[in-house]
Amino acid sequence: MSTPGNQAMLVVGFLLFMALCGFLCLLTDSDQDDSHLAQPLIRPLRPWQHGLAISGTAMSSVSLLGITGLVALTGGDGMTLLLGMVLSMVLLALVLAEPLRRAGHRTVSDALARRMPQRSVRVALALVTLLVCLCFLVLQLATVGTMTAFLIGLPGDGPKTACIVMIGVLMVSLAVTGGLRGTALIQIVKVVILLLTMGAVVAIILHRADWNPERLLGGAASRSGLGDAFLGFGVQYGPGALGIAERLGTAAGLPLAIACLPQVTMRVLAVPSPRATRSAMRWAVAQMLLISALLAVIGLGAAAVMGANALVTADPTGSSSILVLSHALDPDGFLLSAVSCAVFLAALATITDVTLAAAGAVGHDLYAQVMHGGEVSRARVMTFARWSAAVIGGLAVVLAAFASSWPLLVLSALGVALSSSALGPALVYGLLWPRFTSQGALWCLYGSTVLSLALTAVSPLISGSASAVFPDLDFHLIPLTVPAVVTLPAGFALGWLGSILPRRKAAAAAQRFEELTQAEFAGVDAD
């Protein structure tokens, strides 16, 4: 797929994006994120820019590649995931974003600390946040490293590991030097470039189909090898009760998981006011809807132009569909270079955001609030957070180098399960349910995390199948590959049970919740 000319173009494109991102980070200067005294070099972001940054954070490069591939190979099942991505933004816009912004200061822990000031809740939230961030960091790094090695024509494990390490170090250094506003600008650039490149691919696909959606759908269905099943549901997980359960688990877990991802909530908390949050979320929903529509057409186009066999030959998971299609549409390689650079930029932006979210959990929650009770200067917190970002990023690079040969589905399944079942109930109950107590928070945070890890460990994702992490071993006990089927309802049940058991505490929590709501309504501090 790659020729020396393409490779040179790719390397130049990657370097240009790295330089652009570094420039944006230096221009914004992370020290100014918290300074009200210094005159910033660029003006504060507007609500629509925050909206683009929020939706850009929610759409990672792995989602971009993976879901497009699923649309190309399974049709309706992949499109359901795209609908889930849009729903995640709607869920944030209608349910979570405004209460979170009203309640929170810097992190989700701050938002819950109004009602539950106990250190144990902060520690639990920070630990789960770190675990989710590590899952996503390793997943993104392994994917982008593998993609880069593939694109620049370096086969084998050695070059793949070298790509992961080099890209990881560069991206983590951006996260360390760039602040929240710098990375927000990177997200905005990413969204604009993604829309332009994906728009160009879609225009070429539709031009080939004579601008007739009927023809595109017909071509995709016939060349997918699935016929009418391609335009329905049920291809990905198959028939039967297990298939139904896994489809339900994915459809319910994905939107909540994305809405509660630490990097997404971090972006929501960066919006300057609750009313601006409302405006920002409208932009986020619109942008996510647009990019999802483009990806659906690209997936259909990949099936129609290439056929399922060619896509599976290039990559059994279908994740390289968009790259294979770009090369087929423009054999000169310009389109492939543009799409690869856009995907690379998407990965870069996601990794810097996840690293920042993890550093926020360590620096602000664990170091400043838990270890020092909030009595520490911002400068020291910033320094500690920077070092934390470097350490977490370094750890993620090492883990990604080891995990690059794994089936990456295991990390995405675990990340979705943790985010939707541990962070999801804590956030939803914490912002909306008056009787939620600290015991309920601890039960759902720790309970769901342990359950998610245990179910993943005994699933066919780890052992007992050809596509497992350890294909030669077999200690799997359950056939589920989507742990969220069990962990999502379990997380909400644990949070509810932990809160209602001590009835006196639940009543006190409800009273405190009403006081805080009244104070927020008036715009004053309840304390």
Partner 1 sequence: MTSPHHPQSWPEEPGDAAPSFAAATLPSATIRLEAEAAAFITRYRRNRRRYAGGALVGYLAFTVVASTTPELMRSRVAGHLSAALLLMAMQIVTLLWAVAGQRLQAERLDRETAGVREQLAAHRHQRQA
What are the residues facing 470 on neighbouring strands? 463
User: Under a CB-based contact definition with an 8 Å cutoff, are residues 104 and 110 in contact?
Assistant: yes
Q: What six digits make up the tokens of 270?
A: 């960066």
Interior CA angle at 212 toward 207 and 218, to 5°? 110
Give the 3-state secondary structure of residue 475: coil
Q: Among residues 42, 94, 371, 508, which is the contact residue for partner 1, using CB under 8 A?
A: 94
> What is the pattern of x (binds partner 1, CB under 8 A) and - over residues 265-304?
-x--xx-xxxx--x---x--x---x---------------
Site for partner 1 contains 523 (CB under 8 A): yes
Question: Which of the stretches 202-210, 309-317, 458-466, 516-524 binds partner 1 when contact is defined by CB under 8 A?
Answer: 516-524
The answer to the question of residue 195 lying near partner 1 (CB under 8 A) is no
Size of the site for partner 1 (CB under 8 A): 69
Region near partner 1 per CB under 8 A, out of 13-21, 121-129, 148-156, 228-236: 228-236
Residues 328-367 that bind partner 1 (CB under 8 A): 356, 359-360, 363-364
Could you tell me the sign of the dihedral formed by the alpha carbons of 5, 332, 294, 416, in that order?
Answer: negative
Contacting range for partner 1; rule: CB under 8 A; set: 80-88, 200-208, 327-335, 493-501: 80-88
- The verdict on 375 binding partner 1 (CB under 8 A) reads no
Beta carbon nearer to partner 1, 221 or 323: 221
Verify binding: residue 519, partner 1, rule CB under 8 A.
Answer: yes
- φ/ψ of 162, rounded to 5, equals -60, -40
Neighbours of 251 (CB within 10 A): 18
Question: Phi/psi of residue 463, each to 5°?
Answer: -150, 165
- Across-strand partners of 463? 470
Cα 416 from chain centroid?
A: 9
Nearer to partner 1 by Cβ, of 171 and 408: the residue is 171
In the bound state with partner 1, the residue whose beta carbon lies nearer, of 179 and 333, is 179
Residues 31-50 vs partner 1: string with x where CB under 8 A?
A: --xx-x--------------
**Which residues neighbour 264 within 8 Å (Cβ) at sequence distance 6 or greater?**
54, 57, 58, 92, 258
Size (the chain), residues: 527
**The one segment of 194-202, 244-252, 310-318, 505-513 that binds partner 1 by CB under 8 A:** 244-252
Q: Is the dihedral of CA 248, 252, 254, 257 positive or negative?
A: negative
**Minimum distance from CB of 359 to partner 1 (Å)?**
6
**Binding span for partner 1 by CB under 8 A among 51-59, 246-254, 342-350, 501-509:** 246-254
**In this structure, which amino acid lies at residue 248?**
L
Angle in degrees, 0-180, between the axes of helices 180-208 and 334-360, rounded to the nearest 10: 150
Least separation in angstroms between residue 102's CB and partner 1 is 6
The smaller minimum CB distance to partner 1, of residues 295 and 324, is found at: 295
**Using alpha carbons only, what angle is made at residue 254 by residues 250 and 256, rounded to the nearest 5 degrees?**
130
In 3D space, the residue among 496, 484, 489, 485 whose CA is nearest the CA of residue 429 turns out to be: 496
Q: Is 214 in the site for partner 1 (CB under 8 A)?
A: yes
Q: Which of 102-128 are b and which e, b meaning 16 or more Cβ less than 10 Å from the residue's Cβ? A: bbbebbbbbbbbbbbeeeebbbbbbbb
In contact, 95 and 263? CB cutoff 8 Å:
no
- Per rule CB under 8 A, is residue 210 in the interface with partner 1? no
Residue 356 corresponds to which tokens in the numbers above? 């920042």
Q: Cβ distance 436 to 503 under 8 Å?
A: no
248 near partner 1 (CB under 8 A):
yes
- Indicate the residue among 500 and 519 with the shorter CB distance to partner 1: 519
Q: Quick one: which of 21, 58, 62, 86 contacts partner 1 (CB under 8 A)?
A: 86
User: Would you give the binding string for partner 1 spanning residues 388-427, x where CB under 8 A is met?
Assistant: -x--------------------------------------
Per CB under 8 A, the segment of 150-158, 201-209, 475-483, 512-520 that binds partner 1 is 512-520
End-to-end Cα separation, the chain, in angstroms: 63
Q: Which residues bind partner 1 (CB under 8 A)?
A: 30, 33-34, 36, 76, 79-80, 83, 86-87, 90-91, 93-95, 98, 102-103, 105-107, 179-180, 214, 217-218, 221, 228-229, 231-234, 239, 244, 247-248, 251-252, 255, 266, 269-270, 272-275, 278, 282, 285, 289, 356, 359-360, 363-364, 382, 385-386, 389, 517-525
